[in-house]
Amino acid sequence: MDIVVIGGTGHIGSFLVPRLVRGGHRVTTVQRGTREPYVDDAAWEDVRRVVLDRDAAEADGSFAGAVAELGARTVVDLTCFTEDSARHLLDGLVGRVEHLVHCGTLWTHGPSLLQPALEDDPHRAPVGEYGTRKLAVERLLLAQSEDGLPTTVIHPGHISGPGWPVITPLGNLDPRVWQSLAAGEPLHAPGSGAEILHHVHADDVAQLFERAVEAPEAGVGHAFHAVAAQAMTVRGFAGLAAAWWGREADLVLVGWDEFRAEVGEDHATASWEHLSRSIVGSIELGRSLLGFEPAFTAEQAAHQSVVSQVRAGTLDVPEPHPLDQQDATAR
């Protein structure tokens, strides 16, 4: 099958494209620049790469047509963020492509009310611009799926794995979180410590996209969650992570005002965005219709990211112990 992956060298595409190549598909990536994928894989030697600035091409009306002219049966779109962008792509692909697989976000759900959040929940009420826009895109795509372009939507959680920073137990990207945990130092956490983060390894996200591509009859018209089988609380994640260095987490619960004054506005805002939602995503629809089964726990996904940062010299902590060498009682 001929497949186009828009945004093919990013977090998801770095794992998805090699999966598709190994599955016997002919893959073309569409990307803004010449950035290499996050993880090396020999499969990239068989990938055709097309450099195309989406923003500029959408502005002059040429993007969707350029994608359609690549001759793919299926298009995987990993970089669509607005209804206008989605409509433009639909206008160019309807009747020329058989299947569109779109990347959404778990944040199409608002702050958690019921756990786990169901994939087909009709009462979602996202907060913030990002989740609100992505829900509008999902609704547009699925509403036209039956009589327009058959579409499947995948909603990842906090994508983790080698090659980029991972959301910390405090819901931000502050490297001092890992430094405190690695040293066994007190870690100030806002709230109760029971707030929830739902990570997922990028390769598990890629797995679900691959399954959707290869079984369109099962996935068309549906939205699926791409998350690990279990989520982690702030307290649980901190404890698991501290054990990577043979430590116990010394979590000190503080109010949000104190936390903001300590870590700064940017890190505090990121923490609030993640922890105030506390979403646990169900994967039952993906399991039942597409056979999705995450291969990595949320802890394993985060651990791989931290190890890769340490080895790349972008995180100043000792390299964490391998997970399989830890004392199970510490976890």
pLDDT digits (tens, 9 = 90+) for 110-120: 999 999 999 98
Q: Average pLDDT over the chain, rounded to whole? A: 95
The listed CATH number (3.40.50.720, 3.90.800.10, 1.10.10.10, 3.40.50.1820) that belongs to domain 2-159+200-226: 3.40.50.720
Is pLDDT of 50 > 60? yes
Cα–Cα distance measured from residue 188 to residue 254, given in angstroms and rounded to the nearest whole number: 6
Per-residue pLDDT at 324: 73
Angle (deg, nearest 10), helices 234-243 and 175-183 = 60
CA torsion angle 58 61 63 67 (round to 10)? 150
Helix (H) or strand (E) holding 272: helix 265-275
- Domain ranges, ordered by start, for the chain: 2-159+200-226, 160-199+230-279+298-330
Per-residue pLDDT at 309: 97
Percent of the chain topping pLDDT 90: 92
Is pLDDT of 326 > 90? no
Dihedrals phi, psi of 29, to nearest 5 degrees: -100, 145
296: tokens are 């990595």
- CB-CB contact of 204 with 155 (8 Å): no
172: tokens are 């931000």
Per-residue pLDDT at 33: 81
Fold of 160-199+230-279+298-330: UDP-galactose 4-epimerase; domain 1 (3.90.25)
Cα–Cα distance measured from residue 3 to residue 12, given in angstroms and rounded to the nearest whole number: 15
Per-residue pLDDT at 21: 98
The structure's pTM equals: 0.95
Per-residue pLDDT at 328: 37
